[in-house]
Amino acid sequence: MKTIVIKLGGSILEHLDSTFFHDCQQLLQEGFYPIIVHGGGPMISEHLNKLGIQTRFINGRRYTDQRNLQHVIQSLAGDVNKQLVSRFIAEEISAIGISGIDLQLLKAQPKDPRFGFVGEVVDVHTEVLITLLAAKWIPVIAPLGLDHNGQAYNINADEAASAIADAVGAEKLVMVSDVPGVIIQGEKMDQLTTQQIDHYIQTGEITGGMIPKVQAGTTALQGAISEVVILSGHKKHPLTSQGTGTRLLSKGAGNHVIIS
């Protein structure tokens, strides 16, 4: 079973071009099974702001305390997930919305005490995904996880997508965002090696939410994934257009030109 894991950033969800869904249908027809993992950062922040709760970020990652966690779960597994599934259904594409909590799809453990109830994936229950894909149902996954004690965790969507891609041996990991790719000094990079990524993070050229994105991509490349692409969801047919976005390459691949 050939799979492609597609991560949809929260910032693009409301602006996603309708041809994205047509691309997913085309992938199915060509024998590739899409697995969707979505973020929801802007929606979570809006939800918390309405409650008068301030949002904190550390190195592009949301700090989540026990109080905030319940609101994160409500936003991700509730409104955001179901609205996205509804768009698939409106395009007559069979999709099912689940979170990483369901059937402990994403087994998690605490990532770092600094982040509160933010987890990292330690195991993926791939049988759940295989069962859904065998029925030609596209899984639409909210990035939440559960530990062995039943404690839920908020998981960075890029990291969740990377872990899922590695676990299922995906052909490709595609990260769809509201930017055309990785931007260095105003220029969209066609490709970046892991060496270049480390350099640009250290020099401050890659910042904010792009840091966990490229780090998740490089982690995927260290596993079973041979191709990672970061691209814009504003573009028509973002999944099937050629030459779009930024390709991330494993160390030693491509050239190592550093823009300074």
Q: Coil, strand, or helix at residue 46?
A: helix
Under 8 Å CB-to-CB from 126, ≥6 apart: which residues? 167, 168
Give the separation between CA 55 and CA 44, rounded to whole angstroms: 9
**Does the annotation list 100 as a binding residue?**
no
In angstroms, rounded to a whole number, what is the distance separating the alpha carbons of residues 218 and 166? 11
Does 61 belong to an annotated binding site? no
Residues 22, 239 contacting (CB under 8 angstroms): no
Half-sphere exposure of 183 (CA within 13 A, CB side): 11
List 144's β-bridge partners, or say none. Answer: 154
Burial of 221 (0-12, 13-18, 19+ CB in 10 A): buried
Q: What DSSP character marks residue 239? A: T
Q: 154: annotated binding-site residue? A: yes
119 is an annotated ligand-binding site residue: no
Binding residues for substrate: 40-41, 62, 154
Binding residues: 40-41, 62, 154
